Amino acid sequence: MQKYRLMVSCGLLLATFLFLQARSHGDLAPANKPLRDFPSTIAGWQAREFSPFDYKSLDILKLNDYTNLHFVGPQGQSLWLYIGYWNSQRKGAQIHSPKNCLPGSGWEPVEDSKITVPLAPPYSPITINSYLLQKDREQQLALYWYQSRGIVNAAELSAKIQMVKNSLLYNRSDGAIVRVISPVHGSVAETKEMLVRYVQGLYPVLLEFLPQ
């Protein structure tokens, strides 16, 4: 059964690639506003610095727009917000999973799960990824998800399926990844609760920047 699922997934990804190459024009969907204009205050957190990616990383990611901001909380807590946006995922431009980027330099994955974040009306709850990493005695917790046309997907495969659907129905292959990462403050549970509150304040702001 597992081998069958793997074959189906690989077949789907290959079909996605061929389909997107065939429909390779007229699908650009720019962000509503440049991500460099992202607000410096989110849910009581203050942005302190923007950290640009180096040219090598940008060449690999092939982003059309991004922000990578360091925020400081009311009690001095620290987190990083990364939003990467692609106005078209064709010709080698594809969203990269944090599971491929975050581990390294001694950091190892410890826990990988999904959580549901309740949002204030009129927004529905969203299901996103919770990813815990550890290096020696240090731990970091990341919450992340994929977003296109206002639809949130936690799973990478679901995001690919959504991209195919968007291409078929709307001739669009745009998409974004949103990641919030923080050192563990106190316990993992306390840090997760802190990041969830940040995401609750962040989500409505995202809709002002990412196209629906």
Domain ranges of the chain: 2-209
pLDDT by residue (tens digit) across 53-63? 999 999 989 99
Is the separation of the CB atoms in 175 and 89 below 8 Å? yes
CA 58 to chain CA centroid, Å, is: 16
More confidently predicted of 156 and 9? 156
pLDDT greater than 90 at residue 45: yes
pTM of the model: 0.86
Where is average pLDDT lowest: 18-22, 31-35, 70-74?
18-22
- Share the mean pLDDT of the chain: 88
**What tokens were used for 124?**
């529905």
Local confidence band at 121 (pLDDT 50, 70, 90 cut-offs): very high
Q: How many residues does the chain have?
A: 212
Closest CA to 166 of 189, 183, 149, 187: 149
- Residue 85 confidence (pLDDT): 95
Parallel, antiparallel or unpaired: strands 151-153 and 138-148: antiparallel
Is the separation of the CB atoms in 135 and 109 below 8 Å? no
Computed on alpha carbons and rounded to an integer, the radius of gyration of the chain in Å comes to 17
pLDDT greater than 90 at residue 190: yes
- Residue 29 confidence (pLDDT): 75
- Residue 6 confidence (pLDDT): 47
Local confidence band at 179 (pLDDT 50, 70, 90 cut-offs): very high
DSSP state of 35: G
Q: Which residue is it, tokens 């009306």?
A: 121
pLDDT greater than 60 at residue 15: no
- Give the Cα separation of 69 and 74 in Å (integer): 16
